[in-house]
Structure formats: C-alpha cells, structure tokens
Structure 1
Amino acid sequence: MSSDEHFTEAAHAYAALVGQIRPEQWDGPGLGVWDLRSLVGHAARSLITVDTYLDQPAAEVVLDSPVSYIAAIRVIGATAVGGPEAVAERGRQAGVALGPDPAATVQGLLERVLARVETAENPLIETIGGGMLLADYLPTRTFELVVHGHDIARALGLPPPELSEAVLAEVVTLAVGAAFREGAGAQLLLALTGREPLPSGFSVV
C-alpha cells in the first residue's frame, strides 16, 4: 500500500468514529483540556492541512522524510508563542468550526481532500515545517488520524478502529523513527523487550 492509501484508510476510520458520536457526547471529555468536539476538531486538521498545503507549492525540499517533519514540529511547538495553550486553543477553534453537524462537516472534508490527493500525484508542498513532498507529508497525517482515532474511541468507550497491519506498521515505524531521532532509541528498545519501562510522560511528539 502507498502512503496515500494508508492516509485514505485512516481518514475513513476517523470519519466513521465521528459518525458514532451522539449529540449529548460532544461536550463531554475528550483528551486533556479538550472536550470531545475540540479533540475531533484537532484531528480534523490532519485533513484541513493537506487541503491547505496542496495550494501552497514549495520551492525546495527542506524536510526529506516524515521523521524529519515530526522532529521539526517538536522544535516549533517548543518555541512557538503561547506554547501548549496555543495548541489547545487551535483545537478548540477547530472544534467550533465543525459547526452544528460535525459528522457531516468531517465527511464533506474527507471527500474533498481524498479526491484532491487522488489526483495530486506527488507535488512539493509548503508545510509549517518547510517544503516537503506530499508522499512524505501524508504519513504524518496518517499518524495523527490513527493516534487521535484511538483517543476518540477511548473517550467514547468504544474499541479502537480496525486498521490494516500496513497502516499500523507505518504509524509505529514513524513513532520508532522519531524516538531514534530524539536519541531515545536504546531506551525504546529496552522497553519493547521488557527490560525497562518507559518514563512517565514519554512521548515522541
């Protein structure tokens, strides 16, 4: 499967979860400071940014892999004005932008973005971290959709979305690559082989 096929599968799984949210659940707990609407809105940005960046051609490749993008975003997040609260607020605003029928908004967004990706081939796009090929950017969006899909499922008390081994392998491989990029490769290896637990709060994003 290609990166766009993985993205398509993850996007459909996310939209299917959103379609199961009952009206009274939207104001309930989501993740951290976010209610469920804000969490879903934040995840929707994985579709919105693809739509936006397809209209922003880049002059050169600055980020040559999905791991490079994850690393760049960590730096941007650590130095951005407003810090974590600014990220939280963007999630809240994205939730508000879903409007009175969030499931319909997400479905419409999904159809628009997937149609564009299908015909876009592999352009060089300008992302928040710099220029990169669409094929390298899409795995970072698949990662976000899968991770936040699990968050949404937990918030709803539902089992995680059923995804192919290929999609899960891409997401896990990206997470491992990001850990190695941050110098945590040996630490992760020890945890995966049952030698030592990961420290509280460990994250690659």
Structure 2
Amino acid sequence: MTAEFAAAARSFADLVSRMPAGAWDGPGLGEWDLRALVGHTSRSLITVSTYLQTTAVREDVTSAAEYYVKVTPAALGIDPGAVAERGRQAGRDLGDDPAATVAGLVTRALADAEAAGDPLIEVIGGLGIRLQAYLPTRTFELAVHGLDIARATGLDYAPPPEVLAAATRLAADIAAVSGHGEQVLLALTGRAALPPSFSIV
C-alpha cells in the first residue's frame, strides 16, 4: 500500500466528517448533487476492496497514467450516463450517516490494501493491473474530488502535501502519455495558457 493512498483516504474521511448537515442535497459537480459527488468519490475506496477479490489473467495496464488512457468510458464503450448513475447510487448507499460510512470504507480499504501485497487485479472493462499501479489512481481521484467537495461546500480544505505532490505528478504523466505533455509543460512554466475547460482526464 502506498503512503499517499492512506493519507488521501484519511483526509477524505476527515473532510466528509466536517460537511454541513444541510449541504447533502446541494450542488456537487456537474449533474451530481453533493451526496452523489461524495458517493462517487467513496468508490475510490470501495473498488480497492472489491477488485482485490479478483485475479486478472494478464497485465493489460502497466502504469497509473496508462490507466487513464485505457480505462475511460470512451475507451471501454461505457455510457457516461451509467457512470453518473453509479455515483448517485453510491451516494444513496452512504445512508443516514455518511461520515460513519466513509470512515468504515477507509478502514476496510486500508486494511485490505495493506494485507494484499501487489496482486494482479481485474478492474472495470476486465483489464488487469497491479495493485501498486492502481492505488495512485485512487489517490488522484480522492485528491481531485476532495477539492471538488471543498469548493462545493466552502470548507477550508487541502489534501496533504504528499497527496497533492503525487496527484500533480500523475497529472503530468497522464498529459505526457495522452499527447498533451508539451502543452501542459508550456502552461506550467508560464509560456502558454491552456484552453478553457482543458482537462487531462
């Protein structure tokens, strides 16, 4: 298990524990309300435990950056509406005490990852990836959506420094493998601006 994943998971649980009681039905991100956004984010914990119950027959994805090229709705032919509905269902699954539910998911995911080593797991689309290559994608999701949640609620929040560093490094790696490395490097060094709504995921 990576230290960054553990730090991201615990930071997410702390953020959820501080969310205002009346905020859950308010705006979250895009078509999601806040409950659906938190539910979607919690799937970064759920999938660790779930995928550890699988065994892939081959290693189709060899890095976290490659994951974001091969394991996308467009690449796998998945209806984006189905992804959105999974987030809403995950939000409903948080129940009457979302903070307690998230805390339980964190405890389980960290224990499962700690005990697992580095098995070859099967992720969405039936693709195989090593656990230690998959966990940085979960760190990234927890960091980015943690910031989304903080913006939606107005809470003062930043992921731990090591989590921000890991997520930023992965964003740069994704940009490079997806053909946007030059564009992102120029932007990060003040030489060019990124287009409006530019995203590497």
Structure 2 residue 43 is the aligned partner of structure 1 residue 45: yes
State the identity %: 54
AA in 2 matched with 1:138: L
Cα distance in 2 for residues equivalent to 1:117 and 1:181:
27
2:176 paired residue number: 180
2:70, 2:76 within 8 Å by CA — same for their partners in 1?
no
* Runs of 5+ consecutive residues of structure 2 not aligned to the other structure: none
Greater mean alpha carbon deviation, residues 144-153 or residues 178-187 = 178-187
Distance in 1 separating the partners of 2:118 and 2:78: 32
1:198 matched to 2:200: no
2:160 alignment partner in structure 1: 163
Tell me the TM-score normalised to structure 2 length. Answer: 0.94
Name the Cα RMSD after superposition. 1.4
Task: Give SS of 1:116's match.
Answer: helix
Q: What secondary structure, in the 3-state scheme, does the structure 2 residue paired with 1:197 have?
A: coil
Is 2:5 aligned against 1:7?
A: yes
* Conserved? CA contact 2:146–2:159, under 8 Å: no
Q: How does 1:104-123 map to 2 (within 5 A)?
A: 104-123=100-119
Who is 1:126 aligned against? 122
**Structure-2 separation of matches of 1:48 and 1:77:** 22
Q: Which residue of 2 aligns with 1:25?
A: 23
Q: Pick from 74, 78, 85: which aligns with 1:77? A: 74
What amino acid does structure 2 have at the position aligned with 1:40? V
Bigger Cα displacement from structure 2, 41-50 vs 128-137: 128-137
Other-structure match for 1:136: 133
SS at match of 2:2: helix
For the pair 1:146 / 2:163, whether they are aligned, the reply is no
TM-score where L is the length of structure 1: 0.93
Give the one of 75, 82, 92 matched to 1:96.
92
Partners in 1 of 2:44 and 2:70 — Cα distance? 16
Per-residue CA deviations over 1:127-181 (Å, capped at 9, x if unaligned) read: 11511110000000000000000011111112232402x3222111111111111
- Structure 1 residue runs of 5 or longer lacking an equivalent are none
Q: Residue 162 and residue 147 in structure 1: after superposition, are their counterparts in 2 closer, same or farther (change >3 A)?
A: closer
Count of paired positions: 200
Q: Residue 64 of structure 1 aligns to a residue in which SS?
A: coil
